Structure 1
């Protein structure tokens, strides 16, 4: 089993419900949210498996000395010490080969929270295997990203971190052009809207390749 620390909006919020319908799956209950779509489903299969989220601490195997209850208790403590902050949503935006929701401007609160979380949960993470490192294609990473991968288990932390909530897999230009009108229509109401960052969740992958499910959600400033 792997665990991850993600930001995701409340399950019943308009943004979450729209994203779950778009991806075809709700990670809170694991249920399908619409009928299968032969055209869309192959293009959103990867983010649908992970669930609508922004990565704060990337998926990790638990260390031998840890179990999920330890991670859950630590996240409760961590979130109790955080205070909500706001981002402006830009969606749908192209981020490399895929579409995502991204912030409209940099946020010091966001970067501080991400760095603190990466450090706080490092003791619960098992070291990466050689095979796991190889899957990250270290030959394509910068020197700093390779160093972060080896030390922190993920190349995109600290200065390399970029908040994004993925809405498609990697697309060709033709696929992106075909998908864009439906994305624009689905998410038009959220472009430029204020996004409140006030909770984090533990997502779990029960076995390799299985869909991720929400295990627990912890609100900021509360225990």
Structure 2
């Protein structure tokens, strides 16, 4: 299949957490198939944006291939990066409010996760086409700090390197009055969360013509 963009994700391995995420969002990125969501009024609307991407933690944000680069070479480079990158772990995951969004976020020391994300961003940067002016303008509407502006210019995204915060998104931006209700709904459907949380593989994913992302290949971190 031909993809419009690629990214490097953490996709939970097959199991209860992956099944929960796919069902909650209504899309299984690992299989590239829709999944029936829980019978909760409004859930389809509040998961519309994250559904496109699947249940994941971003390590290298979506990018278009640079000229002269192809998907096969990207896969080879991702495998080489993974072979030199050691796994990471932290105490676990928990349900959090990130502003007006809900997500699973790590607890404890996250320096190892940040190290893996930085390797994905830097080691594969030669495959990233520079963002267009429209994309840059859209990013800058977020009132970026000087450092975020510098990261946007260098890496094509403002929330990488020391600005990176690992998270697995569960909702779109929610109305303030609905935050508690949806927090409780997620809690009621969550399986036991991993403790510790181990990031020992990365996933190359591609954006399909319908705008949804799906797994291309997983790579174990063996460095």
> Structure 1-normalised TM-score?
0.92
Aligned to 1:197: 199
Equivalent residue in structure 1 for 2:115, among 108, 112, 115: 112
Q: SS of 1:140's equivalent?
A: coil
Structure 1: state its 5+ residue gaps. Answer: none
Supply the distance in 1 between the matched residues of 2:191 and 2:38 (Cα, whole angstroms): 23
Q: SS of 1:94's equivalent?
A: strand
Aligned to 1:140: 143
Deviation sequence 1:118-139 (CA, Å, 0-9, x none): 1111110111110111121346
Deviation at 1:50, TM superposition (A): 0.5
Deviation at 1:183, TM superposition (A): 0.6
Determine whether 1:185 maps to 2:188.
yes
- 4+ residue stretches of structure 1 with deviation over 3 A? 35-38
Structure 2: state its 5+ residue gaps. Answer: none
What is the aligned-residue RMSD (CA, Å)? 1.8
Supply the distance in 1 between the matched residues of 2:142 and 2:85 (Cα, whole angstroms): 36
Name the count of aligned residue pairs: 219
Deviation at 1:85, TM superposition (A): 2.6
Q: SS of 1:189's equivalent?
A: coil
Aligned to 2:31: 29
Deviation sequence 1:135-158 (CA, Å, 0-9, x none): 213461111111111110000011
Q: Is the 8 A contact 1:62 1:125 kept in 2?
A: yes
Q: Is the 8 A contact 1:89 1:101 kept in 2?
A: no
Deviation at 1:36, TM superposition (A): 7.5
Deviation at 1:60, TM superposition (A): 0.4
Determine whether 1:14 maps to 2:16.
yes
Supply the distance in 1 between the matched residues of 2:34 and 2:175 (Cα, whole angstroms): 26
Equivalent residue in structure 1 for 2:53, among 43, 50, 55: 50
Greater Cα offset, 113-122 or 80-89 = 80-89
Supply the distance in 2 between the matched residues of 1:80 and 1:139 (Cα, whole angstroms): 36
Supply the distance in 1 between the matched residues of 2:5 and 2:12 (Cα, whole angstroms): 21
Aligned to 1:214: 215
Determine whether 1:122 maps to 2:136.
no
Equivalent residue in structure 2 for 1:151, among 154, 161, 165: 154
Supply the distance in 2 between the matched residues of 1:173 and 1:188 (Cα, whole angstroms): 25
Equivalent residue in structure 2 for 1:88, among 72, 82, 91: 91
Q: SS of 1:136's equivalent?
A: helix
- In structure 2, relative to structure 1, the CA distance for the partners of 1:124 and 1:163 (3 Å cut) is same
Q: Is the 8 A contact 1:148 1:156 kept in 2?
A: yes
Deviation at 1:6, TM superposition (A): 0.8
Deviation at 1:32, TM superposition (A): 2.0
Determine whether 1:173 maps to 2:171.
no
